[in-house]
């Protein structure tokens, strides 16, 4: 294929992608992607769900802020079913839950697992419910690194790194992990761990030394967590909903209100897809580093 034909083909494909994105955006505008006025005639308890790995905070924060603005929503149940995730998004959700709890009641209902980052975001809530068998706690930080230097040598590929300081490529899979690297990264992990401990102590109103005693990464059942005062009550999602209604002064069984669906920006999806190509397998291959509450 000649260079000219390749350029024409690429241009046509780009035009088709842009045309598709614009068509979807127009369709979303015409048919709508969520009704922000849905709750005007209703009074009840809002439901926000956090499921799976915590990789981003935007959607959870959007839903919490939406419910905070709705006079009809008297309280919110935050359903957490997550093994944890990346540190910064977990901290952002924690901060938003704390702000929400200062203005309205927010009750956490833990599902099958609410550990590490999943527990972190639960800590500042008004009250925490867990099932007796919920897996929770796991107060700790982990940084996973790998080294493929020997494999690269066997394949016959040579790697060259230019850097501005000895720590700039610490954790790179393309060179040996030195004692200095280990000490530097360990200090970052220790500091982040202390942030976790302080957040739990503040959110749960516990002495920081009591939290430190169990902040060694151990998991606890819901029943055990209640003994350590990491959980307030044992109960189901329905129990949490009913408690939220009582705390909000709603008589009888409260109506459960869902947030409006997020408006879809198809151009953003295309951009995110392209970013995923570089931040996914390619990013991992080039030594992308993520610290996790996991």
Residues marked active site are found at 116, 168
Tell me how long the chain is.
294
Residue 16 vs residues 3, 23, 270, 292: alpha-carbon distances, Å: 20, 10, 12, 39
DSSP 254: P
Between vectors from CA 36 to CA 35 and to CA 42, what angle results, nearest 5°? 95
Q: How far is CA 136 from the centre of its chain?
A: 16
Q: What gap in Å lies between CA 75 and CA 8, rounded to an integer?
A: 57
User: Based on C-alpha coordinates, what's the Rg of the chain?
Assistant: 24
Torsion, Cα 79 82 88 89, to 10 degrees, reads -50
* φ/ψ (deg, to 5) at 137: 70, -120
CB 64 within 8 A of CB 98: no
Instruction: Return all residues near 150 (Cβ < 8 A) that are at least 6 apart.
Output: none
């Amino acid at each position: 294929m000649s260079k000219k034909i390749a350029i024409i083909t690429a241009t046509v494909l780009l035009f088709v992608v842009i045309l598709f994105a614009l068509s979807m955006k127009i369709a979303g505008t015409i048919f709508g992607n969520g009704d922000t006025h849905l709750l005007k005639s209703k009074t009840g308890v809002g439901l926000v769900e956090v499921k799976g790995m915590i990789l981003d905070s935007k959607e959870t924060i959007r839903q919490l802020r939406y419910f905070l603005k709705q006079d009809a929503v008297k309280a919110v149940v935050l359903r957490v079913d997550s093994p944890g995730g990346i540190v910064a998004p977990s901290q952002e959700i924690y901060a938003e839950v704390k702000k929400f709890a200062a203005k309205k009641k927010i009750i956490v209902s833990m599902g099958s697992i609410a550990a590490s980052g999943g527990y972190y975001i639960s800590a500042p809530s008004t009250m925490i419910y867990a099932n007796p068998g919920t897996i929770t706690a796991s107060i700790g930080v982990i940084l996973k690194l790998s080294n493929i230097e020997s494999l690269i040598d066997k394949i016959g590929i040579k790697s060259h790194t230019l850097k501005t300081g000895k720590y700039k490529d610490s954790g790179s899979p393309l060179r040996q992990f030195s004692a200095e690297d280990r000490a530097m990264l360990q200090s970052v992990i220790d500091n982040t761990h202390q942030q976790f401990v302080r957040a739990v102590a503040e959110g749960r109103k516990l002495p920081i030394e009591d939290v430190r005693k169990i902040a060694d990464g151990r998991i606890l059942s819901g029943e055990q967590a209640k003994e350590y005062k990491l959980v307030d009550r044992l109960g189901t999602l329905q129990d949490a909903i009913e408690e939220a209604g009582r705390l909000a002064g709603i008589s009888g069984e409260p109506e459960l209100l869902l947030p409006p669906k997020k408006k879809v920006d198809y151009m953003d999806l295309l951009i995110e897809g392209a970013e995923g190509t570089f931040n996914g397998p390619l990013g991992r291959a080039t030594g992308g580093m993520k610290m996790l509450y996991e």
